[in-house]
Amino acid sequence: MRIATWNVNSLKARQEKVDQWLDRAAPDILLIQETKLTDTDAPVMPFAMAGYDLLHHGEGRWNGVAIATRQGMQVDDVVTNFGDGPVRDSGPGATKDFSEEDFNPFDEARMLSARVDGLRIVTVYGPNGRVVGSPFYAGKLSWYARLERWLRETHDPAEPLLVGGDFNIAPTDDDVWDARAVHGGTHVSEPERQAFRRLLDWGMIDAYRLRETATGRFSWWDYRAGNFHKNLGMRIDHLLVTKPIAERVVAAEIDREARKGPPIPSDHAPVSIDLDEPGKAFDAGWEGALERIAARSRPRASKSS
């Protein structure tokens, strides 16, 4: 079984890219973030044509999470927003004209959970935090405290459970291109990393790191300044699993090639793990890319006269 997560940065804008990747990597379960759609507008038919059922929790203009499962898999016991009730409607025709400053992470479509063929699958889109010390940052930490409390109150680390998505947290200095360059910012601050570690302390395991320990492999790069081609990125997309799933992980990958266009890519790359046996083979493109980047960074020898 292959399980993957991908922040697509607008499912409407990236549908063609997602369709290509479903064919390229053939995941059995794909966790999706930042769909930026209402549930009514969720692209159920395109996913069905690709052989997947789509479970969607959205609000409209921002956020939005989904779980795509291969047709025939049993999906039940759906939970949204930690079971705390409906979220806002920021889509077309909403009674309130929301702006980006209308931030309440507990009224946004950021969490969706379902039981899939006996596995508890949770897709999350953690708040960005923007600036350390800001209300957005405080809201981010509060949201992670709610996620941790939900896990403690409703689940057990002895059960097969996976929490995946865009966490907007790089858990260690090995997960950023330059710890000095990002020091003091969001995604790498100690309170954020503590929130991530509390999930691990509860019983979650970073599944990617079970199989891949190399540094310099990231899941997000800013669109600006050629950061992708310079590999100035962060590993902020994660698949956290409990021990019963961790024992089944045989492979893990970040598909760097999916970050390339055309069509226009997301600023995130898919992260995948394989359980029990390797899934469909694909070349993630890391070896050649890192060699080219290293070669460009070497000082050129001066020509003798």
Per-residue pLDDT tens for 138-150? Answer: 999 999 999 999 9
User: Residue 250: pLDDT above 90?
Assistant: yes
Instruction: Indicate whether 304 belongs to any domain.
Output: no
Instruction: Indicate whether 17 belongs to any domain.
Output: yes
Confidence at residue 98, expressed as pLDDT on a 0 to 100 scale: 79
CA distance 177 to 110: 27
Confidence at residue 295, expressed as pLDDT on a 0 to 100 scale: 81
Domain hosting 25: range is: 2-297
CATH at 175: 3.60.10.10
Instruction: Indicate whether 303 belongs to any domain.
Output: no
Instruction: Indicate whether 116 belongs to any domain.
Output: yes
List, in order, residues 6 or more apart from 1 with CB less than 8 Å away. 28, 29, 274, 275, 276, 279
What percentage of the chain exceeds 90 in pLDDT?
87
CA distance 108 to 36: 11
3-state secondary structure (DSSP) of residue 29: strand
Instruction: Indicate whether 78 belongs to any domain.
Output: yes
Instruction: Indicate whether 135 belongs to any domain.
Output: yes
In tens, the pLDDT along 229-239 reads 999 999 999 99
Smallest CA-to-CA distance from 29 within 246, 235, 271, 219 is with: 271
Instruction: Indicate whether 141 belongs to any domain.
Output: yes
How large is the average pLDDT for residues 66-89? 97
User: What is the full DSSP assignment across 221-254?
Assistant: E-SGGGHHHHT-EE--EEEEE-HHHHTTEEEEEE
- Indicate the residue type of 114: A
Confidence at residue 304, expressed as pLDDT on a 0 to 100 scale: 45
Higher pLDDT, 287 or 76: 76
Looking at the structure of the chain, the number of domains it has is 1
User: Residue 83: pLDDT above 60?
Assistant: yes
Average pLDDT score, the chain: 94
Confidence at residue 296, expressed as pLDDT on a 0 to 100 scale: 77
Confidence at residue 300, expressed as pLDDT on a 0 to 100 scale: 57
Q: In b/e form, how buried is each residue of 176-211, taking b as 16+ CB within 10 angstroms?
A: bbeeeebeeebbbbeebbebbebbeeebbbbbbebe
Helix axes 190-202, 135-154, angle to 10 degrees: 10
CA distance 126 to 67: 16
3-state secondary structure (DSSP) of residue 63: coil
| Position 298 confidence tier, pLDDT thresholds 50, 70, 90 | low
User: Residue 261: pLDDT above 80?
Assistant: yes
Instruction: Indicate whether 302 belongs to any domain.
Output: no
In tens, the pLDDT along 187-244 reads 999 999 999 999 999 999 999 999 999 999 999 999 988 999 999 999 999 999 999 9
Exposed, middle or buried by CB within 10 Å (0-12, 13-18, 19+), for 119? Answer: buried
User: Residue 299: pLDDT above 80?
Assistant: no
